[in-house]
Structure formats: structure tokens, C-alpha cells
Amino acid sequence: MIVVVSGPGGVGKGTIVDAAVKRDNGLWLSRSWTTRDQRPGEADDAYVFVTPTEFEAHIGAGGFLEWTEFLGNYYGTPVPDESAPDVNGRDIVLEIEVDGAQQVKRIHPDVMLIFVLPPSREEQERRLRGRGDVDHKVLARLKKAEQEEPIGRELADHVVVNDDLEDTIAEMLAIIDAAR
């Protein structure tokens, strides 16, 4: 099974997904590639950090399941190697924005899309600012979120509001269990 977790920036997708894969050994989290700079304090393995040239070469080689340009940087999901020992029989989790989610749905209509929403715009803004991005980037992400939300709601199999983190993680794991 492929589980796509999508939602606007600042909604807490990354935190939710990290916790879910830690608790459920049957889940494998795909690591994306990006051309954006690593944030201060961000883990080295949060992404495969590459240059635009490296990213474009990988597009040319057919190396991505999906990729997109998001606020001036490339992001992409490498084609999963389902025979790799660490994947082996596990359900694959992708944490991606809405354009990528649409692409994956087109290629694999049977993927399960969980769309995560913030409890409010104010809370989302607070979380985005908490990551230390500069003001114009926070505003750009909030604007982008408004465009993403209606598309994501329409595309989603399940919509989850991330009000309480623990509840959201439990809800997501229950949705995945039910699908299995």
C-alpha cells in the first residue's frame, strides 16, 4: 500500500509521519530529494539535499515517481525500490505537497491520500514562524496553503485536522490499520 500524507505547510505533517513510522513497524517512510537549503537544526537525513543540476539529472534519468517546484525549489520522491531490504513488504509513506499528491493519484489511483489540515490559520502561522523561516517565506507559505487546501480536500480519501498531535497520530494509524 502507498499512503500519501499531504497538507499545507505548517500543519505538522512531518511530525505526525515521523511518529507514525516509529510506532508502526509496517510503515516505511520515503526520503525525498530537495534543492532547498537545510534549515538550522534540521536533521541531515530530513531530505537528500542536492543541487538543481543533480536534481535535473535525476529527472532526466527517470528517477522520480513524482516531482514538483514548490516556492522556488525542487522537491521529488525517488522511485521506491520495493525490493530493498528496508522496504520489503512494508507500506510506503510519502509526505508531500498537493501537486505531488495529485501526480501520485494519477499514476496509482489506489493510493490512500490522507490530507492534514491545521486547526486554524493563526495556529498554522505560529507553527510556520516557529521553524525560523524569514517573514516573506512564512507569508508565501501561508498564501500557498490557501491554494492547496481546496484541491487537497477534493482529492483526499481522509481529512484529518491536526488539533491535538497525539490524537492525530492515533487517528492516522487507525486509518492505515483499517485500510490493511
Q: What are phi and psi of 64, to 5 degrees?
A: -110, 140
Taking the complex as a whole, how short is the minimal distance between the CB of residue 95 and ligand 5GP, in angstroms? 5
Nearer to ligand 5GP, 36 or 129 (CB): 36
Q: What is the largest CA-CA distance in the chain?
A: 43
Residue 31-50 contact track with ligand 5GP, rule CB under 6 A, x = bound: -x---x--------------
> Is the Cβ–Cβ distance between 4 and 113 less than 8 Å?
yes
Q: Cell 534549515, residue? A: 39
Question: Which positions from 59 through 118 interact with ligand 5GP, judged by CB under 6 A?
Answer: 66, 68, 70, 75-77, 95-97, 99-100
Q: How many residues bind ligand 5GP (CB under 6 A)?
A: 15
Nearer to ligand 5GP, 70 or 176 (CB): 70
Task: Please tell me the distance from the alpha carbon of residue 123 to that of residue 9, in angstroms, as a whole number.
Answer: 12
Question: Which positions from 130 through 149 interact with ligand 5GP, judged by CB under 6 A?
Answer: none
Task: Please tell me the distance from the alpha carbon of residue 42 to that of residue 38, in angstroms, as a whole number.
Answer: 6
Taking the complex as a whole, how short is the minimal distance between the CB of residue 144 and ligand 5GP, in angstroms? 9
Cα–Cα distance list, 151 to 99, 133, 138, 157, 173 (Å): 9, 25, 21, 12, 23
Residues making contact with ligand 5GP (CB under 6 A): 9, 13, 32, 36, 66, 68, 70, 75-77, 95-97, 99-100
